[in-house]
Amino acid sequence: MQFKLGPLPECPCAATVETVGEWWSILILRDAMQGFTRFEQFQRSLGIAPNMLARRLKHLTDSGIFERRLYSTRPARHEYVLTEKGRDFFPVIAAMVGWGNRHFAKDGPALLLADRSSGRALDPVLVDSASLQPIDADTAMAVAGPQASPQMRERLAMVAALRPIPSSNG
């Protein structure tokens, strides 16, 4: 059973978790980012039960993350190709790899991201596209967007009260 959004359906975190938050989905997306497209490839890589994999692929396809394409007619076989929406999830996977390597790879990482042309290891960092400055919990805050509901604005006011903006008057 898939989680359904609660009282703040406009929250992008809740919408993302509703779509890809189930752990099999994230692992399927990880494998798709590495080039897997076929049911058998996902099943072999993940060791997932076929019925569970079929449900997750259907959900991800219905959500617009995969496009299902026929690659064989006898028998009918389909592959699952990432859409632009699906490929846009890559920074989330990269951030998870970086975070996991920093916090769980006690003896060193077993998996790294590397530059395709040079092979140099990459350290994923989230940056602002305008300033190229790192974004983290100390430098960023959530604010209401133009379509925020009154409930969202109320929630964000509570959040702002917990971490007020420091005065620059010194």
pLDDT tens digit string along 31-66? 999 999 999 999 999 999 999 999 999 999 999 999
**Pairing, β 76-82 against β 66-73:** antiparallel
What's the total number of domains in the chain? 2
Does residue 32 fall inside a structural domain?
yes
Give 70-127 pLDDT, tens digit per residue: 999 999 999 999 999 999 999 999 999 999 999 999 999 999 999 999 999 999 999 9
Task: Calculate helix-pair angle for 90-104, 23-33, nearest 10 degrees.
Answer: 110
| 81, 138: one domain | no
Question: Which three-class secondary structure state does DSSP give residue 150?
Answer: helix
Hey, which bits of the chain come out as E strands?
66-73, 76-82, 113-114, 121-122
- Within-domain flag for 79: yes
pTM: 0.84
